[in-house]
Homo-oligomer: A and B are copies of this chain.
Amino acid sequence: MIKINKNLLNVQQVDNFEEVSKRVNEYKINNPNNKLLNLGVGDVSKPIIKEVIDEMNKAINELGNIDTFKGYGYFYGHSFLKKKIIDEYKCFTEEEIYISDGAKTDTTNILELFDKDSLACLFNPSYPVYRDALDIMGIKYEYIDANEFNDFRPLPNKKYDIVYICSPSNPLGIAYDKDYLTKWVKYALKNNCIILYDNVYDSFIRSSNVPKTIYEIEGSKKIAIEFRSYSKKASFTGVRCSYYIIPNELIIKDVNKYWKKRVMTKFNGSDYIAQRGALATYSDKSIIKINKNIDDYLTNARYIKEELEKLNYKVYGGFDSPYLWIKNKNNMSSWNFFDLFLNELNIIVIPGIVFGTNGDNYFRVSALANKSVIYEAIERIKSYEKEN
């Protein structure tokens, strides 16, 4: 008798997010005329810049012409894009770079690189996809607390084989500085631990003491795999293009030789059109426009922070990141606070509990929405606070 992979039965995320959707949908059915403002979802609202649109149109038209048609790309990505990535890092070779279709895919699939008996370390709270992917793979994990007492900067006190670090952090909205990351790199070098460095919000980094990449930290090429994406940077959440670096120096011998086998077996290369679009993000003109877009999101974040602090909310994050991690008032639990915002203010936030037990007294707000949505939401919160 065929049996299901029992690990799938452990996955919690769908249930959590389904609970958010369920409550939102119930509210909509009962209150069809009330306008909901969504500060929950971490999706971008800015359209893709013209330079990138033009390049993708060009790429598509090539595919319609017999003389310029291109079929399968390369399993590991087109050279034209890898060259730009190498220019940006100012190191690495093409064989250390993998172009892919999204950081969620990449940060979860990478677990196939490791022995099932590895022990992983997760921040509590953290992006729940890490936990669910570990569950599906049957790899054990433990949490370390990221909370106000340690300034959301936990350090391990035992030996782990793998650790997920997300910086700028989803959901904490914090970008970790060089000092803190150096501690992790030293720990990893000492303990032969691999850091899976989820750096998909790198384009939001403005502070000079925050490394743009983990590879700025000495020794990190031996123990870190870094993940990046065009999703937030270039509004590619619908287009899908990402990349990750596995340094040849990594302490796993011949790591790229073996990982290439995995990729070749289970992936047929990333979309050509998306890769051409990604290529166009590197022109001088594109960089200026993209930075302007990100600055607008950061301005949103700062505005939310300032206004909510005036209302005596305790707000973390929002610098170098599109996310704010905000403490519920009156010690309310996540779901109660979520319901309050939904029912009384018609604002959708993400209940912190979705990211781990330490999130229960918090909610996550995204500054990636349109400015008008954010301003309207803030006005509603102000009025509500005045009345209550």
Chain A: residues with CB nearer than 8 A to chain B?
Answer: 1-6, 8-9, 11, 13-14, 17, 41, 43-50, 52-53, 56-57, 60-61, 63-66, 68-73, 101-102, 104-105, 108-109, 112-118, 129, 132-133, 136, 161-162, 192-194, 235, 237-240, 251-253, 255, 258-262, 264-274
Contact = CB atoms under 8 A, between A and B. Distances in A.
B272 A238 contact: yes
Given A5-B116, A14-B261, A237-B71, A105 B268 contact: yes
B63 A132 contact: no
7 contacts: A5-B115, A14-B264, A101-B101, A104-B268, A105-B266, A133-B266, A271-B274
A63 B235 contact: yes
B109 A266 contact: yes
Say how many copies of this protein the assembly contains. Answer: 2
A240 B117 contact: no
Contact of A47 (B3, B65, B114): B65
A348 to B, nearest CB: 15
Contacts of A105: 266-268
A163 B261 CA distance: 23
Nearest to A273: B273
Contacts of A136: 112, 262, 265-266
B73 A238 contact: yes
- Residue from A60, A65, A72, A113 whose CB has the most chain B CB atoms within 10 Å: A60
Contacts of A264: 13-14, 17
A43 B72 contact: yes
B53 A69 contact: no
Given A108-B266, A133-B266, 16 more contacts: A2-B162, A2-B194, A2-B252, A3-B117, A3-B161, A5-B114, A9-B258, A45-B66, A50-B64, A53-B63, A104-B265, A105-B268, A129-B265, A129-B266, A133-B265, A273-B274
Contact of A252 (B4, B41, B262, B274): B4
A108 to B, nearest CB: 4
Contacts of A132: 261, 265
